[in-house]
Amino acid sequence: MTLVDLNGITLSDFFTHANSDRGKLYGYARGTPERMSFFNLALCLFLKENDLNPFYKARFELANQLLSEMNRMRFITPLMRLYVSVSSVEDLERLNIYFRQYVRYSRTPWRFDVDEVMSERFSDPYQKKITRSCRKLNLSEMYGYLCTWYFEGEERERLVGILTGKAL
> pLDDT tens across 63-98, in order?
777 878 777 667 777 888 888 788 787 888 898 899
| pTM of the complete model | 0.67
Single out the residue of 21, 28, 24, 107 nearest to residue 62, CA to CA: 107
Question: pLDDT (tens digit, 9 = 90+) per residue, 120-132?
Answer: 777 788 888 999 9
